[in-house]
Chain A
Amino acid sequence: MAVSDENLAVQYHNGDEQAFEQLVRRYAATVRSLAVNMLGDGHMADDIVQQVFLRVHRNADKLPEINNFRAWLLTIATNRCLTMIRKRTTKPDPLPMDNVIAGLLAGPDTTITAVERNERVVRLCEALNTLKPEQRATLVLHYQEGLSYAQIAERMDTTVNTIKSRFRRTKERLRQQLKDLYPESIS
C-alpha cells in the first residue's frame, strides 16, 4: 500500500529527501494544473509550482503539524495564484487550447465544425478571462478538484453561503456570455 502523504511529510521532516521527491512526483501535475487553470499562463504557473514546492522543501520543521497535506498544499497554491492574479498587470493568456477543445468536445454536441470549434474556444477563453480571480478560483476548485462548497469555503477562508452565491453569479455570468454556444437541442 502506498505511504500516505502525511507519513511522507513526516519522513521528510526526519531527513529523508526521497520522501520529498515522492511528494513532488505525486503533486506536481495537480499543482501545475491548478495554477494553469487559475492563471491561464504556463510560465506563471511554473513559477507558482516552484514557489509551492520550495516552501515545502524549506519548511520541513512544520510538516508534522499538518493534518491534511493535500489540502494544505492546494491552499498554498490557491493563495499564491490569487496573489499573483491580483498583482499582475497584463491580461491573462488563453488557457492551453487543447484543454478547452477537450472541454468543448466533452459536451453533448460533438458535431461542431473546426471553424466553429475555434470560435467557441476563443469565446470560452474570453469568458473565463472576464471572471474575477475569486470566481475563477471557485470554478477551478470545484471542477478540477471536485471540492464541495464547504471545502472551497474553508480553503478560501470564507462562508459556505458566500461560495454558493459566488458560484451562482459566476455561472450566470458565463451563461450570459456563452448564450449562443449552448447546443441547439437544449435551447
Chain B
Amino acid sequence: MDDANPLDLAPLDLDPIEIPTEPLEPASQAVEAALLTVSTPGFWESADLWATPILASSIVAALLGTVGVYIVLARAAFVSAAVSQLAGLGVVVVLLFFGGLLDHVEPAARLGGLAFGVLGTALFAMPVSTTRTPNDALLAMAVIAASALTLVGAATLTSEYQHVQNALYGDAVVAARWEVWLMAGVAVALLAPERRLRYRLLFALFDPDSATAQRVRVTRWRLALGVAISLAIGLATVVVGALPAFAFSILPAATALRFGLPLAGVFVLAPVLGLVAAGLGYYLAFVWALPVGPTMVAVLLVPLAASAFRRGD
C-alpha cells in the first residue's frame, strides 16, 4: 500500500479551469436568468404549492359570499366580526393552555377556534333582556374583548407566534388538505338547500311579525341561519384567518347590494366577487410577496370602491 496514496486512487487528469476575465456574453446572461428562475419558481410552475390553499380560499369565498348576503341584510356585521375574533381567541387559548401537551398543535388550535366561534354565536343568539345597552354595543364589546385578550395571550406565545398571526390575519398560504375537505363538506351542506329556503329565511328577516302571524316559525329559521353563519365563519376563520373571514362575509355581499341588482343577481355576484378576490389575491400575494389574507381583502376593496360610482335606485 502506498503511504502517499492510501486509497489507491489514481490522480485525476483535469484540464485547468479558465476563469473568464471579460464580461459575460449575452448567452451566459440568459443561463444566469434561467438559473434564477429555477431558484424562485414562477406562479404557474408552483401549482402544487398553491393549489390546495387557493381551493380552500375559494370555497371559503363562495360560501361566505352567499352567507354574507344574509349577514348584511340582517344587519349582523358585528356578529360576523365577533365570531371571527372569538375564533381567533380560541386558537390562542388552545395554544396557551394546551400547546405543550398536544402532539398535533395546529389542528387542535384550529378546532379550538371553531369551538369558540360557534360558542360565541350561540351566546349572541340568546335573548338579552337589557335595555341599558343596545345589541350592537354588546357585540362591539365582544369584538373588543376578544381582540384584546387574543393580543394579550399572543404576547406570551413567542414560540407559537406564527400560529397566532395566521389565526388573526390569515394563513391561506398553508391550508391543509383536511381543511379543504372539511370546508367543502360544510359548504355543500349549507349551500345545497339555500336556494329553496331563501325566501323563508328572508321573510323571517324582512318582516318577522307578519311571518309569525302567518305561522312561519321565525325563531327556528333565524336560529338555523345563526348556526349556519357561525359554522361558516368559525370554520373559515381557522382556515384563512379572522381578517379574511370577516372580509369575505361582508364585502362581497355589501358590494353586490350596492350595485342595485335584483335579489337573484345579488346571490350570484357576491360569491363570484369572493372567488375572484380569493384567486387574484393569492396570485398577487405570490407574485409581489405580500401577505395572502390582507391582499385578498385589498382586492375586495376594488369593486366596493367601484360601486360608489353607481347611481342609487
Partners in one complex: no
Chain B residues within 8 Å of A, Cβ to Cβ: none
Q: Interface of A with B (CB < 8 Å)?
A: none
